[in-house]
């Protein structure tokens, strides 16, 4: 029921996703009447099950309010379904703060982890890296940052089958004298940890330079950095288009170069990278961008499918016990 475009986006994405994934079954949780009106009359009821939810979380609900008063919301019921193992993953485009609070309350965090974090793979020309937290926790202690590093490291181990992923901490400079107190303290904790392959501080521009597999920061910094990157990409895409529109000659060039430019622009299309994961919960929760289209929402469903196939939280939790022993 969440997101900027309401449930129509989710319904359209679900219809596309069950075609992509032959073994996928979906429980659509929300206002039954509205969902029915959005589904075609001949929708495959053996693959899509409607679950009625009398309430839904509003985009401006405070997390504490959602926790207390949205217990019958589509979000809370979805998470409850995951907890009862009636579904392997929950995908939502709703209120991030509420999803964090309800996820933590209903699914719980594994022992040793205080708070879940939002993690996403960031596309780059060389390699790939996972950044967390992207907005679930705006105020973080050094201990939280340390736990994010462990979660991110385990996530990359499981998802990318990469041993000893390189972990870096975002700071405003390389020197140990720089940064806030939490960041410096977290760095010392990471240095002292034998379980992690900590490579030190990195600055914002290095996220795209394949110097780390896991990039750790607090949710405020991560969210602003990611959105700034999105803003630059959107601006540059437009700028390239305009550059080729300046004269008849450049228009012809632009027309001829269309396949080249399109490949470039597809790579940057945010909808192809949609779907961030709440890591550090006893269950899979995928957050779709609120502004995602049906195509983007389907990518978030893909993330849920992939994570379920990998058995992501179980495998992270099993390794977590190793690390904390």
Closer CB to a second copy, 6 or 112, in the complex: 6
- Positions 34 through 63 that interact with a second copy (CB under 8 A): 59-63
Give the one residue of 20, 68, 69, 178 binding a second copy; rule: CB under 8 A: 178
Is 33 a residue that touches a second copy (CB under 8 A)?
no
Select 95 or 282, whichever has its Cβ closest to a second copy. 95
Task: Note whether 266 binds a second copy by CB under 8 A.
Answer: no
Q: Does 221 engage in binding with a second copy (CB under 8 A)?
A: yes
Given the complex with a second copy, which of 170 and 284 has the nearer CB atom?
A: 170
Complex with a second copy: residue 192 or 256, whichever CB lies closer: 256
Least Cβ distance, residue 259 to a second copy (angstroms):
8
Q: Could you give the count of Cα atoms lying within 13 Å of 188 in the half-sphere of its Cβ?
A: 9
Task: Find out whether 11 and 1 touch, Cβ atoms under 8 Å.
Answer: no
CA distance 211 to 190: 17
195 binds a second copy (CB under 8 A): no
Q: Give the residue, chosen from 23, 125, 248, 322, that forms a contact with a second copy under the rule CB under 8 A.
A: 125
Q: Of 19, 69, 172, 191, which lies in the binding site for a second copy, with binding defined by CB under 8 A?
A: 172
CB of 224 to a second copy, least distance (A): 4
Minimum CB separation from a second copy for residue 125, in Å? Answer: 5
318 touches a second copy by CB under 8 A? no
Residues 224-253 that bind a second copy (CB under 8 A): 224-236, 238-240, 242-244, 246, 250, 253
Nearer to a second copy, 207 or 285 (CB): 207
Contacting a second copy within 79-118 (CB under 8 A): 96-97
Give the binding-site size for a second copy (rule: CB under 8 A). 65
CB of 290 to a second copy, least distance (A): 9
Nearest to 246 by CA among 237, 236, 238, 254: 254
Catalog residues that contact a second copy under the rule CB under 8 A.
59-63, 96-97, 124-125, 135, 138-139, 170, 172-173, 175-181, 203-209, 217, 219-221, 223-236, 238-240, 242-244, 246, 250, 253-254, 256-257, 260-261, 263-264, 267-268
């Amino acid at each position: 029921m969440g997101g900027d475009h309401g449930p129509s986006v989710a319904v359209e994405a679900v219809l596309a996703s069950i075609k992509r994934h032959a073994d996928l079954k979906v429980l659509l949780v929300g206002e039954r009447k509205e969902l029915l009106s959005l589904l075609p009359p001949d929708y495959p009821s053996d693959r899509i099950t409607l679950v009625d939810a009398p309430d839904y979380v509003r985009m401006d609900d405070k997390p504490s309010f959602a926790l207390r008063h949205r217990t019958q919301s589509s979000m809370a019921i979805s998470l409850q379904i995951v907890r009862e193992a009636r579904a392997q993953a929950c995908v939502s485009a709703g209120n991030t703060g509420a999803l964090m609070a309800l996820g933590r309350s209903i699914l719980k965090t594994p022992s040793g982890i205080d708070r879940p974090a939002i993690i996403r793979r960031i596309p780059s020309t060389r390699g790939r890296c996972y950044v967390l937290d992207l907005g679930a926790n705006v105020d973080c202690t050094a201990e939280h940052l340390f736990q994010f590093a462990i979660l991110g490291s385990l996530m990359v181990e499981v998802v990318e089958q990469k041993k000893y992923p390189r972990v870096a901490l975002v700071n405003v400079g390389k020197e140990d004298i720089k940064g806030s107190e939490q960041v410096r303290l977290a760095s010392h904790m990471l240095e002292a940890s034998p379980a992690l392959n900590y490579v030190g501080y990195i600055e914002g521009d290095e996220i795209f330079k394949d110097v780390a597999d896991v990039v750790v920061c607090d949710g405020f910094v991560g969210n602003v950095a990611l959105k700034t990157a999105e803003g630059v990409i959107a601006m540059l895409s437009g700028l390239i288009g305009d550059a080729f529109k300046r004269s008849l000659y450049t228009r012809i060039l632009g027309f001829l170069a269309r396949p080249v430019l399109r490949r470039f622009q597809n790579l940057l299309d945010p909808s192809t990278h949609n779907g961030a994961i709440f890591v550090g919960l006893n269950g899979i929760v995928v957050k779709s961008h609120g502004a995602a289209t049906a195509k983007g929402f389907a990518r978030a469903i893909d993330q849920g499918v992939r994570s379920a196939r990998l058995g992501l939280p179980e495998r992270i939790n099993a390794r977590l016990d190793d690390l904390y022993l």
